[in-house]
């Protein structure tokens, strides 16, 4: 429009003037085309440099602009296709290779490249045609000859894999498909068949891996994202399921199935995260509460139920109710015979001084996994505790359990020491009994408030036992200072 206004002349100037106008317009078009071609060549050169350096996205940007400036240069399309392929974007590369062959049918490199893409996609008929055409122009092309020879055996393998799948021979189908996918890694159809075979075999992890590949290979694949999300959910992987269903909703915010699943898994994922965070932080009461929420949210889902029961079993063994731990761990074992669950239940038995039951559980854990060290160490500990069962039980003396924190042990000690101090009694027999009781109370406090001594005691060794090499000189009255009257004393605590 600008050019027309610039060269517009009144009608009365005649045909000569009109010719001058048209000539000027033609000259301006040629100058514009020349500038565009020049710019295109500049971008083409820059794109080639970026391609050589492996900066594929930058190379693409320059090739885009080169094609805008000169859409007739077949080499620019070929180089852009090469950049697309380097970025793993085969679908984007194919139209460029089609354009190259349209502009220059005898360009062997483009036909060979396109044949390779078709082969990797499992499009054997189209690959066959391209390799055949390459060999027509270049009979000695080694790569084309090799691929051309491979097509028929691959076709036979595909037929055999489909037959094995239809007959339910899924392991055989997986073996054949794995061999084919080494040559046809971009085939969505073949990957889906292998994923389905893995599923029928109960191998969810490999099935998910193949389905994820199909999602990457197929644009806007909401069905694939939803399938991956559901499979992660079946595996008891709430976070992974949530991430996949979010991808589905990014592609289609109105996808009903994805939205309904999103609401469900989002709520569950939050509770599972709370449970795991409490477990890692050793906040065992919070861990128990969160695990019970997970069970309530998914009472019939085997994997989530087992995961929650696992945490419930372990965290209750760290609490003050070993009988509750026994119940929780027995339920976990009912859901899954896991050696760790047996070890946790064994610890609960030990807290109740049920040594034989603990040893039996540790031995069962060892049978399930011979490489697991915890059962062997557990049996040794349980045997030591059983051997020393007739000796002083410091936990029972103070009326606490193995998971009672130090501050509560000190409180229990204060209360009992005030009650049983010998100066509280005048009768000689009572004083004598109180002295023994008081010594036991003081010994219990000495051991259970010292981390190293407590650890040894929990392993079945009494650090204050004179018969033990670890035995120490112990004065039960070292924490008391008397002031005049026999009943007036105060405590000095460590």
Q: Rounded to whole angstroms, how far apart are CA atoms 240 and 236?
A: 9
- What are the φ and ψ backbone dihedral angles of 221, each rounded to 5 degrees? -90, 75
Q: What are the Cα distances from residue 49, in Å, to 52, 62, 85, 193, 371?
A: 5, 10, 17, 41, 56
Q: Where does a domain end: 149, 183, 217?
A: 183
Using CA atoms in the order 332, 338, 339, 345, what is the torsion angle rounded to 10 degrees? 0
Nearest to 78 by CA among 44, 40, 53: 44
Establish how many alpha carbons lie within 13 A of residue 127's alpha carbon, considering only the half-sphere containing its beta carbon.
Answer: 25
Q: Where does a domain end: 159, 183, 207?
A: 183
Q: Identify whether 188 is part of a domain.
A: no
Nearest to 444 by CA among 486, 491, 484, 404: 404
Q: Angle at Cα 199 formed by Cα 197 and Cα 204, nearest 5°?
A: 130
Q: Identify whether 241 is part of a domain.
A: no
Q: Identify whether 11 is part of a domain.
A: no
Q: Identify whether 438 is part of a domain.
A: yes
State how many domains the chain has.
Answer: 2
Which residues are bridge partners to 481 per DSSP? 490
Q: Identify whether 80 is part of a domain.
A: yes
pTM of the model: 0.68
Q: Identify whether 322 is part of a domain.
A: no
Q: Identify whether 55 is part of a domain.
A: yes
Q: Identify whether 105 is part of a domain.
A: yes
| CATH number of the structural domain spanning residue 437 | 1.10.287.110
| CATH number of the structural domain spanning residue 73 | 1.25.40.10
Q: What are the Cα distances from residue 97, in Å, to 32, 65, 132, 145, 227?
A: 28, 18, 17, 20, 33
Q: Where does a domain end: 183, 212, 228?
A: 183
pLDDT tens digits in sequence order for the chain, 494 residues long: 444 444 444 555 455 555 555 555 554 544 444 456 678 888 888 988 998 999 999 999 999 998 988 899 999 999 999 999 999 899 999 999 999 999 999 999 999 999 999 999 999 999 999 999 999 999 999 999 999 999 999 999 999 999 999 999 999 999 999 999 999 999 999 999 999 999 999 999 999 999 999 999 998 999 999 999 999 999 999 999 999 999 999 999 999 999 999 999 999 999 999 999 999 999 999 999 999 999 999 999 999 999 999 999 999 999 878 889 999 999 999 999 999 999 999 999 998 889 999 999 999 999 999 999 999 999 999 998 888 776 778 888 888 887 888 888 898 889 888 888 888 888 776 777 788 878 888 888 888 899 898 888 888 787 887 655 444 455 555 544 433 344 344 444 44
Instruction: Find the domain containing 434 and state its range.
Output: 392-494
């Amino acid at each position: 429009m600008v050019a027309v206004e610039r060269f517009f002349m009144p009608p009365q100037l005649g045909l000569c003037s009109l010719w001058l106008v048209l000539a000027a317009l033609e000259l301006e078009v040629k100058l514009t085309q020349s500038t565009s071609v020049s710019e295109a060549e500049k971008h083409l050169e820059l794109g080639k440099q970026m391609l050589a350096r492996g900066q594929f996205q930058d190379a693409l940007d320059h090739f885009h602009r080169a094609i805008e400036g000169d859409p007739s240069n077949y080499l620019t399309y070929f180089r852009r296709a090469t950049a697309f392929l380097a970025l793993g974007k085969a679908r984007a590369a194919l139209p460029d290779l089609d354009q190259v062959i349209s502009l220059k049918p005898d360009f062997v490199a483009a036909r060979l490249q396109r044949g390779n893409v078709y082969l990797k996609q499992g499009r054997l008929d189209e690959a066959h045609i391209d390799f055949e055409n390459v060999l027509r122009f270049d009979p000695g092309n080694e790569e084309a000859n090799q691929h051309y020879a491979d097509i028929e055996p691959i076709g036979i393998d595909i037929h055999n894999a489909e037959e094995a799948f239809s007959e339910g021979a899924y392991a055989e189908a997986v073996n054949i498909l794995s061999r084919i996918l080494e040559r046809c890694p971009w085939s969505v159809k073949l990957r889906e068949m292998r994923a389905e075979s893995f599923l029928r075999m109960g191998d969810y992890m490999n099935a998910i891996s193949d389905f994820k590949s199909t999602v990457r290979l197929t644009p806007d694949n909401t069905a694939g994202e939803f399938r991956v999300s559901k499979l992660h959910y079946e595996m008891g992987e709430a976070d992974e399921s949530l991430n996949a269903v979010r991808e589905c909703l990014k592609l289609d915010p109105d996808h009903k199935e994805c939205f309904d699943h999103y609401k469900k898994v989002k709520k569950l994922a939050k509770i599972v995260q709370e449970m795991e965070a409490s477990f890692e932080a050793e906040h065992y009461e919070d861990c128990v509460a969160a695990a019970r929420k997970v069970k309530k949210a998914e009472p019939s889902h085997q994997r989530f139920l087992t995961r929650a029961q696992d945490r419930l079993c372990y965290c209750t063994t760290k609490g003050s109710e070993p009988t509750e731990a026994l119940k929780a761990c027995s339920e976990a074992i009912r859901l899954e015979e896991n050696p760790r669950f047996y070890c946790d239940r064994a610890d609960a038995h030990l807290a109740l001084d049920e040594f034989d039951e603990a040893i039996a559980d540790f031995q069962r854990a060892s049978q399930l996994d011979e490489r697991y060290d915890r059962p062997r160490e557990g049996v040794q500990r349980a045997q030591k505790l059983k051997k020393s069962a007739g000796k002083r039980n410091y936990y029972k003396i103070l009326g606490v359990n193995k998971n009672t924190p130090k501050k509560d042990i000190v409180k229990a000690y204060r209360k009992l020491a005030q009650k049983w101090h010998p100066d509280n009694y005048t009768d000689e027999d009572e004083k004598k009994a109180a002295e023994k009781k008081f010594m036991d109370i003081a010994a219990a406090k000495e051991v259970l408030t010292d981390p190293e001594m407590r650890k040894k005691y929990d392993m079945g060794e009494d650090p204050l036992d004179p018969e033990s090499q670890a035995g120490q000189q112990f004065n039960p009255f070292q924490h008391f200072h008397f002031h005049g009257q026999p009943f007036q004393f105060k405590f000095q605590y460590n």
